[in-house]
Amino acid sequence: TTFGLDGGQSDPAIQWRPIVTTVAPDYVEVGEVFTDQLTAGVRGAAPWGTIEGTGEGAPITANGTLYGPFATEPPQGAVPAGAPVAGTATQVLTGEGVYNVDGPVSEEAGYYTWVWEIDQADQTSAFTSPRATTSWMSSVRQSKHRSPQ
């Protein structure tokens, strides 16, 4: 089932389905902020929805969860059951384009992965990104500059 801007079922020929792709840095140093770059777009022929009367882009809230640390890179597919959550981030998307998002500060070395969701309960269309592919994965390494203990 797909949903239109009003939350009801829509004609498949004119349905509006926002999509998000993401690219996270390959490496993050301990103490640095995790970042992610979201690219918002629309699946199908319809353009990004607008707010009637204003022409502004319809706001869509994307919620990101950063999972990790993992000792080894998790397999492709769903996040493993019981995976630790390192933090969350929220980004309001108001049209097609690129959005740079800051997450939590990295505190521990390991592998991390972002998963982004657009929840229908928060707006008009549901979408969940698959578990990170290589370009969505961040690895945290210990800083080369360690303080004396």
Q: Name the region of 72 (left: φ>0; alpha: ψ -120 to 50; beta: rest).
A: beta
CA distance 13 to 32: 45
User: Mean pLDDT of residues grouped by 10 in the chain (149 residues)?
Assistant: 39 62 89 93 77 79 91 80 93 93 94 85 52 41 35
Backbone angles phi, psi at 27, to 5 degrees: -135, 145
What's the pLDDT score for residue 73?
A: 84
Longest Cα–Cα distance in the chain: 65
pTM across the whole model: 0.72
The pLDDT value recorded for residue 50 is 77
Q: What is the pLDDT of residue 124?
A: 52
Cβ proximity of 141 and 30 under 8 Å: yes
